Amino acid sequence: MSDCIFCKIVSKEIPPDIVYENEMVMAFLDNNPISLGHVLIVPKKHYENIYDISEDYLKELIAVAKKISLVYRKVFEISDLNLIHNAGKNGQQVVFHFHLHLIPRKEGDGVDFDNKKFPELREKYDEFIEKIKDSGIV
């Protein structure tokens, strides 16, 4: 897509800080990182998010995430991380070209994804699961 910033990065019209690339995937450092090594793993073909990406690309993206995790552990002794995909406006997706955030974590790094929890939502679980079964999709 011509107006997509990540398509411009993939084509190197905007020069990326590349951590890894192959025919299908590029992984480059986030230009506003949460921690050192915060990397975005993207398909070289434009997909918006989890809803439209092909399973082949998704599998390759996850395989690359694993590869980078192992490299980080070996080279930088980073053994903890978050792997995040934001989808849609309310999912806080800002760039609408599929990406996985791989965010290295360590003790006392000040990063906090410890959100408020709502245990009372368990009351709705039976109905929730029933609706999924009724959909016939899974």
Contacts of residue 43, Cβ cutoff 8 Å, sequence gap at least 6:
24, 25, 53, 57, 60, 61, 98
> For residues 30-69, which are near Zn ion according to CB under 5 A?
46
* Of residues 24 and 48, the one with the C-beta less far from ligand AMP: 48
The string over 100-114, giving b where at least 16 C-beta atoms fall within 10 Å of a residue's C-beta and e elsewhere, is bbbbbeeeeeeeeee
Catalytic-role residue among 38, 97, 99, 101: 99
* Of residues 97 and 101, the one with the C-beta less far from Zn ion: 97
List residues binding ligand AMP (CB under 6 A): 5, 14, 30-32, 40, 86, 92-95
Instruction: Judge whether 97 counts as a catalytic residue.
Output: no
Active-site residue list = 99
